[in-house]
Amino acid sequence: MRLRIFQVDAFTDRVFGGNPAAVCPLDSWLDDATMQAIAYENNLSETAFFVPAKGAYALRWFTPLAEVDLCGHATLASAHVVFHHVLPDADAVAFDTRSGRLDVVRGDDGLTMDFPALAAHPLDPPPADLAAGLGLEPIAAFGDMDYLALLETEAQVRAIEPDMTALARLDERRGIIVTAPGESADFVSRFFSPRMGVPEDPVTGSAHCMLAPFWAERLGKTTLRAYQASARGGTVHCTVAGERVRLTGSAVQYFEGTITV
């Protein structure tokens, strides 16, 4: 069987920046083992698969090791593929996912995704492996889908050299966010998920479902500019609207091809 595949760099306006995601449009679902094997072979943070559904597309995301409940950059990449290769005249697309209906709108400033807002619940005390894995004690720790470690400065976020073995022992949540106030953005972050086969994710849209409300409350503003300070780096524009978060970013296609499975 030959399948179309695209690789799209998300949350960037140039190739080799942002976060690369693979996207496979399908007419019908492959079996789960095959989709997981494709994701493992791609060896990217996520591979997305979507199939036509009534008035929308059903969308699923796989890391190299597991299917996940929510992914931002691969949703952005999937919308880019829809707008450029499936529905070129459309300005909006809806995806049905494990996290409910996710709408994406195409505008002059990029693609805007409507995602659920996640609360940051204080963890007191934080798990010991969090500080051990980061190599420093955070000011405070929080949790929801991921752990969130609050640091004092952007320089601390950039300087972290994590102990992936220690972080992988944090098995109750998907990954670990580290964040601090930004120097040229409202806040900065990095994201680690070794347990899911993603040691460091370059730009994690879904992490901003917790980051955006977290910083909106602290900064007293609902529109924020975020920067994920990985080696590739990427900007996420965030708007907090009650129980939803709108995440805006750009995307650039790197390649289009076929795979044989």
Q: How many CB atoms sit inside 10 A of residue 123's CB? A: 16
Entry field: residues in the chain: 261
Beta bridge partners of 260: 2
> Cα(233)–Cα(229) distance, rounded to whole angstroms?
5
Q: What is the pTM of this model?
A: 0.96
Which pLDDT does position 46 carry in this prediction?
98
Which pLDDT does position 240 carry in this prediction?
98
Which residues are the active-site residues? 46
Report CA-CA distances (Å) from 23 to 20, 107, 173.
Answer: 10, 21, 25
The DSSP letter of residue 231 is S
Which pLDDT does position 232 carry in this prediction?
96
Which pLDDT does position 172 carry in this prediction?
80
Helices (H), the chain: 32-42, 73-81, 128-134, 154-159, 164-168, 208-219
Dump strand ranges (E) for 42-185: 46-53, 56-62, 67-68, 92-97, 100-107, 110-116, 121-122, 140-143, 147-150, 176-181
Provide the residue-wise pLDDT of the chain in tens; the chain has 261 residues: 999 999 999 999 999 999 999 999 999 999 999 999 999 999 999 999 999 998 999 999 999 999 999 999 999 999 999 999 999 999 999 999 999 999 999 999 999 999 999 999 999 889 999 999 999 999 999 999 999 999 999 999 999 999 999 999 998 899 999 999 999 999 999 999 999 999 999 999 999 999 999 999 999 999 999 999 999 999 999 999 999 999 999 999 999 999 999
Beta bridge partners of 51: 58
Which pLDDT does position 163 carry in this prediction?
97
Please calculate the CA angle 42-45-48 and round it to the nearest 5 degrees: 70
Which pLDDT does position 202 carry in this prediction?
97
